[in-house]
Amino acid sequence: MKFILVLLLGLSSLQTEASPLALRDRVATFLKKNVMGRTQTLSTEGTLDADGVSYLVKFQATISWDKLNETEEGLTFQETRDIKQTSTELDKAGKPVGQPINTDREVVREYALRPAADLLSGMTTISKNTLEDPTGTGFVTMAELSADDKELYLYESMAGFSEASLDGKNTIPVATSSAATLFLDKNGKLQTHETLKFYKVDVNKDFAREELHRFNLAASEK
């Protein structure tokens, strides 16, 4: 199964609580107050090198958050991304070669987290991808709040790897990880600062990861 390389937007330890559900309640309160029902925009570009070939990747996304549900075990919520993306091969001088490869798509991510020791942890799965079959794409996810409950930290690492393509033809095994901070700015607008890393996976060497590129991303509420 082939997956087009995507940028995604996109938690570690929490303060120790007397009750595990207190962790859920704090995160749920933050999400209700600051995240749910809001829409953000993100725009970035960068160069990715894969198997000796360089590509200029241009990425834009509209990000919305909804469907928060508190359960007996934890909480679930959903993130939807309307993505506009192109990848253009570059020659050795860094100039574009040929036409950009368009990989526009809509991606829906489902979060399911529960208290575990002093943090919230779980999985994030992709339930919809209008470009490719998302079956089997998942991310180990953890969440924590700052001591003053004004920042939410999300940490994700892809479980396994996916077959990604930049040129629309050839694929390579890749994985991603990210660390994001969600907070309100002085004007009450939702901001997300994220470091997103892409790795090439060596399936013949215990799935060792070699970092290809990292993006420092910033998504802002409209």
Q: In this predicted structure, what is the pLDDT of residue 166?
A: 67
Nearest CA among 179, 181, 182 for reference residue 197: 179
Give the CA distances from residue 8 to residues 15, 25, 64, 82, 128, in Å, rounded to whole numbers and listed in that order. 27, 26, 13, 11, 14
Mean pLDDT of 173-196: 95
pLDDT > 90? residue 12: no
Q: How far apart are alpha carbons 103 and 179 in whole angstroms? A: 24
Q: How far apart are alpha carbons 82 and 67 in whole angstroms? A: 17
Residue with tokens 């040929």: 98
pLDDT > 90? residue 179: yes
Mean pLDDT of 124-133: 88
Asked whether the whole model's pTM tops 0.85, one would answer: no
Nearest CA among 45, 79, 86 for reference residue 62: 79
Contact yes or no for 88/101 (Cβ under 8 A): yes
Q: Sort 55 into a burial class: Cβ within 10 Å, 0-12 / 13-18 / 19+.
A: buried
